[in-house]
Amino acid sequence: MIILETERLILRTLELEDIESVMNFWGDVEVMKYCGGAGTKERELKALKYYINMQNEKGFSPYLIIRKESSEILGVCGFNPPTNGYDTELMYHFAKKYWGQGYATEAAKACIEYAKKHLKIKRIGASIAPENIVSQKVLEKLGFDYIGVKWCEDTNQNEPYFEMIF
């Protein structure tokens, strides 16, 4: 199901058939360096099932990002449910060859607008590893505020935490 379109991108819900495509980023050690590590096909199939259920139950999830011009699958961007009482979390993972072209910012902006309009949430958070400067830059460009350091379950460490309140 297509959720959103931007100038260059289509955002649609994940499907089990996307497994080969998502391995290009979820299976890549460098992409997942600050996000809990690269996964095996088996682990990422479970992740796909989890996100498909989440979309059905909660009405949000991470979305697959497709470049309109070429139909290439670039990555994922969207939402994870709140953990530890924190906010619904914004997440984005893109395959390396597509970095540095403004795609994460474009996709995340659209997701935020979508959340404001269609989801019953009042704020979005994001935990970013201290060394992940590029990702922090994306959050700054989107207008997130730095809140402080919080425990991150995915990476098992304290991480800078950013938030956007609608």
Chain positions contacting ligand COA, by CB under 6 A = 31, 34-35, 75, 92-94, 99-105, 128, 132-135, 137-138
In 3D, which of 127, 152, 123 has the Cα closest to residue 139? 127
Residue with smaller CB distance to ligand COA, 112 or 138: 138
Residue with smaller CB distance to ligand COA, 31 or 111: 31
CA angle in degrees (0–180, nearest 5) for 74-8-141: 80
Backbone φ/ψ region at 73: left (φ over 0), alpha (ψ -120 to 50), beta: beta
Backbone φ/ψ region at 130: left (φ over 0), alpha (ψ -120 to 50), beta: alpha
Residue with smaller CB distance to ligand COA, 29 or 120: 29
Supply 123's token pair: 């704020």
Residue with smaller CB distance to ligand COA, 99 or 114: 99
Distance CA 74, CA 5 (A): 14
Comparing every residue's Cβ against ligand COA, the nearest one is 104
C-beta separation of 140 from 117 below 8 A: no
Residue with smaller CB distance to ligand COA, 56 or 149: 149
Query: Closest separation between CB of residue 162 and ligand COA, Å?
Result: 11
Distance CA 112, CA 126 (A): 12
Query: Closest separation between CB of residue 22 and ligand COA, Å?
Result: 12
